[in-house]
Amino acid sequence: MNLQKIAITLVVFVAVLFAGNFSRPTEVSLPCEEPIAYVIGAFDRRFGISQKYFLDALGEAEAIWEVPIGKELFIYAPETGRLAVNLIYDYRQAVTSTLSGLESAVGEDETAYRTLRVEYVGLKTEYNDAKNIYDARVETFNEKNNAYQKQVEFWNRGKRTSREQFDNLEKDRIALEAEVVELKSREARLNEIVRKINALVGTLNRLAVSLNLNVEVYNTIGASRGETFTGGIYHSAEGVQGIDVYEFSSRDKLVRILAHELGHALGLEHVDVREAMMYRLNEGDAGVLSEMDLAALRALCGVK
């Protein structure tokens, strides 16, 4: 009898959401002498947009840099482009979509806040109760599984001629497999509760800020909310460049993320002016360069 040890792991996905933190590039280039040729790389359709929509947004992002200095800095070249622009769907966009749905369903008033807070408290209580039960069941399962493994090892070392002992081992194995199914079901429920809590956290915090309420600051399970959420990132290593877009809540946000990362592709770094395109957080909606952005671009490209 060849049996493998059964392991149960609880995986709770925590999504933090804030304004869209941009990542700083690892390398810089000076492409002003000729346009940077880019191509669409990975394109996940779970974002619910077409490639044309994405390309149009890229065109708007290009223009933000090109129009002010009257110079072509980027070009779409599907056959020869070396800068891959990727649209990658993961937990970040999933939570943003959920949050957008919640915010569109409620008005920014105190009644909505209080209603959501009751739901939040209820979900937290449900999560804590469910997790305590799950943890206890996992502990019991592991004890049973360890005892079963010892019995299997004893069986394998023996003559293996007892039908009764064999039947008992099979009975224990079937029971353990049934417990695995139940534990995985409980795990899935826990993860679903966490997803709802994380979405509610974003809504509650935003409502509290808009209403100027003196309330507690809500946290996601397992991690503080923070400002480390990455909406997009530019990366360059060993001559290979890429832009990865992970999250956006509107077309304006998408254009700003693309423009910001195209700025990194040009060779620009972060600035400390909050309204600037090259500020580290995607907090604004304006599709124009700040004076600091424009000065940095002119210096980079040698344009007066």
pLDDT at 109: 65
Cβ partners under 8 Å of residue 146, min gap 6:
none
pLDDT at 11: 29
Hey, which residues does 234 pair with through a beta bridge? 243
The SS3 call for residue 40 is: strand
Nearest residue to 195 via CA among 12, 8, 19:
12
Superfamily of domain 21-99+225-301: Collagenase (Catalytic Domain) (3.40.390.10)
pLDDT at 266: 93
* Successive 10-residue mean pLDDT values, the chain, 304 residues: 33 31 45 88 92 96 95 94 91 65 58 79 85 89 91 86 88 92 89 80 71 58 37 86 88 92 92 87 76 93 85
- How far is the CA of 210 from the CAs of 16, 51, 56, 93, 112, in angstroms? 19, 35, 33, 23, 12
**Cα–Cα dist 63/57, whole Å:** 10
pLDDT at 203: 72
Q: Which amino acid is at 51?
A: Q
Cα of 142 vs its chain's centroid, Å:
32
* Residues 270 and 28 sit within 8 Å (Cβ to Cβ): no
> Considering the entire predicted model, what is its pTM?
0.55
- How far is the CA of 177 from the CAs of 9, 44, 134, 180, 272, in angstroms? 15, 36, 16, 5, 56
For the chain, the structural domain boundaries read 21-99+225-301, 107-211
pLDDT at 210: 65
Pairing type for strands 230-237 and 240-245 reads antiparallel
Q: What one-character-per-residue DSSP string does 186-245 give?
A: HHHHHHHHHHHHHHHHHHHHHHHHHHT---PPP-BTTB---S--EEEEEEEETTEEEEEE
Structure tokens given for 117: 């807070």
Torsion sign across C-alpha atoms 297, 264, 51, 75:
positive
